[in-house]
Amino acid sequence: MMRVVIQGDGIAAHCCAHLLGTAGLRVAMERGGRPRLPAIMLSETTQNLFKDVFKRKDLFRGQPRIRKRVVAWGPNSKPLTFDHAAVVISEEFLVETIRKNLSLDDRHETTEPDWTIVSSRQPAGSVEQRFGARLATAARVNLKNGADSTACWIESLEEGWLFLIPSAPGSAWLLSVGGGALLEPSRMIADQIEGVSGPGGEFPAHPRIAWPLCGTGWLACGTAALAFDPLCGDGTGYAMREAILASAVVRAVAKGDSADELLAHYEARLLAGFRRHLAACRQFYQSGRAGPWWDAELESLNRGMEWCENNIRTRGELRHRLVGFELQALG
């Protein structure tokens, strides 16, 4: 029986472990120690994906709901309100919930696994390609009386942007991306906040990709493979789709399909997804605001698009397709 070791214990790692375990493979997990995100916002599409993978229709019952999105984007823009359908949940709670029903192989092994899925840190031998330099800080804040706890707010400023996500009645998480004291010049989000109630943490917010993404007996998945700008949202959804494809590759290899062809398919699909993310980011940064900060980040996105195009040209035709949770050979 094929044995798989998953390095990491985030959402992508648990998704891989579940899909591989239910397929009858021996799966072990090595904890990665990455700090959990205090709050993640999941779209309706990603919620349904979780329910399909883990067969849990009650997974998000009782979690705070976001029902509208208020956006002030671009110089002198007026706030616009859009319908939205999302839940806000802590990564720690979500991971512990989906971990409960996993069947893991806890036996000590001295031999190398048949496959290794790296999901928590940059794989050995890969080089991280970075397209931007923007950093983000996250801080817990108190909302003013009367602030709508079912709405999230997004606002562009001269040197960055703000994203306010309510996490409970009267409180929210404020994400600040860029330089300087962004809350002071805010025209919209500052009016929703009473004050900061907890210390903030800093983390990279620019798109990144490990290259190569896979090799003989291993592949990268989740944050070890791709990291996204939080502006476009639903990085968790990307991680889930990567995990579904990664587990499908390993299962297909276990059935005797060509590992080289499957890894080529995996790398091509992730590369195409990363290019789509950069293209979406570029649209937002082109319309956000004019100025040195925006221009520098936009140039980095353009460089990333060129890097993707150069690597995509070397890809051959895809010879597999994903049907449900399985990869099938074309022809």
CA atoms of 10 and 121, how far apart (whole Å):
11
Q: How do the domains of the chain map onto residue ranges?
A: 3-38+90-132+206-329, 135-204
Structure tokens at 265: 């398919």
For residue 87, the one-letter residue type is V
Helices (H), the chain: 11-22, 44-54, 91-99, 235-254, 259-288, 292-312
The predicted structure's pLDDT at residue 179:
78
Contact assessment for residue 67 and residue 151, using Cβ atoms and an 8 Å cutoff: yes
The predicted structure's pLDDT at residue 65:
95
Helix (H) or strand (E) holding 331: none
Question: Quick one: CA torsion of 186, 187, 193, 194, rounded to 10 degrees?
Answer: 90
The predicted structure's pLDDT at residue 202:
87
The CATH H-level (homologous superfamily) assignment of domain 3-38+90-132+206-329 is FAD/NAD(P)-binding domain (3.50.50.60)
3-state class percentages of the chain: helix first, strand second, coil last, to nearest 5: 35, 30, 35
Contact assessment for residue 263 and residue 269, using Cβ atoms and an 8 Å cutoff: no
The predicted structure's pLDDT at residue 100:
87
Q: Which residues contact residue 97 at a Cβ distance below 8 angstroms, ignoring those fewer than 6 apart?
A: 59
Mean pLDDT by 10 residues, the chain (331 residues): 93 96 94 80 96 93 95 94 96 92 80 94 92 93 94 96 93 90 90 84 93 97 95 90 98 96 96 96 93 95 97 88 94 74
